[in-house]
Amino acid sequence: MGLPTTIILVTLIVIANILNFFKQILKPVYQVLAGSRSPSILRTPEERFSSLHLVGYNFGPNYIELNAGCGIKLPRVHYLDEGPRHGKVILCLHGEPTWSFLYRKMIPPLVDAGYRVIVPDFIGFGKSDKYTSPRNYTHELHTMVLRMLIEDLNLQDMVLVCQDWGGLTGLSVVKDCPGLFSSLVVMNTGLPDPILNFDSQGFSMQRLQKILPFTLWRSLVSLFGTCLPVQFIFQAGFRNQRGVDQEVLNGYTAPFPTSLYCGGLASWPLLVPFFKDDPVTCHMWEAKNCLKTWKKPVLVAFSDSDPITRGQEKVFHKLVPTADSVVIKGARHFLQETHGEEISKEIIKFLSNQKMTSL
């Protein structure tokens, strides 16, 4: 990245944050005039999902209402539960801004191999209910919901398959209850240090240039909030990817008919730790400490063309030197969409090798 590009990025970040400053000033006015008329929780109309069987999402829905205590029920959570009830559980976690639709190509091969595959939609995504305000979404909410779902379904001896924010959330749960997981499959994700943490690497122009793209993205998300252009985000994410037509894109955007449904989508980028004292930071560091002492099998399966998490596979191999590795060639960030069948085969081979080793 040259100096002109750096100057442009810095300028855009400054402009976005100035506009966001004025947005925050006007926000109370909007809340008084319009916020009180908006429901706090929404449920995406079922007809938005009616045609998804045509693109391979033909799984039966399962719903659960989790008790948050003090008589309060959390928003309804949707999850897929396919395969034999007594089969070994593979828990698949989506990230931003996707939902269980992302795993539709991986579920059939895994089920055919005898596994029970569970794929939840985090609150704010997919067929799960959605808080309208981004302020309701926290890392602790997502990890709590996942732990409560695991407990309610009495899941044990699980294989965790995680990607994007599914990694940050899922690995945070792993470090809290490692005994429930028998192996990990880590794909295109990370356990990021705070963006503005120069303690270990110090400040340099190279370091500054490295953090500018995400800082700009974060600034734009903060500015646009729930008005993020969902269709454009998915089009950019799947640009020039094989087999991703308009019907598939419609499947990914189905949970978000209007901006009122996008609170979860608008919150996750802002939860990536930016400063050392951000609430998520300690979860990331503790998850790394957990992996440093992890003795169970790990498969690191990263794309060779992911512009978002490129290089993070090295972090996981440093944390778990004994981890197996596979490179998914030709895939970008959402590798489950374009290479789902290939990844399933790699997971089945990985788990089969573990069975042979244990004999």
155 touches 116 (CB < 8 A): no
Q: What residues have CB less than 8 Å from 109, skipping those under 6 apart?
A: 341, 344, 345, 348
Dihedral in degrees, nearest 10, Cα atoms 98, 324, 91, 345: 80
Residue linked to tokens 């400063």: 275
Radius of gyration of the chain (CA): 20
Residue 121 contacts residue 94 (beta carbons within 8 Å)? yes
Active site residues: 164, 306, 333
Amino acid identity at 141:
L
| Pairing status of strand 158-163 against strand 62-64 | unpaired
SS3 state of residue 3:
helix
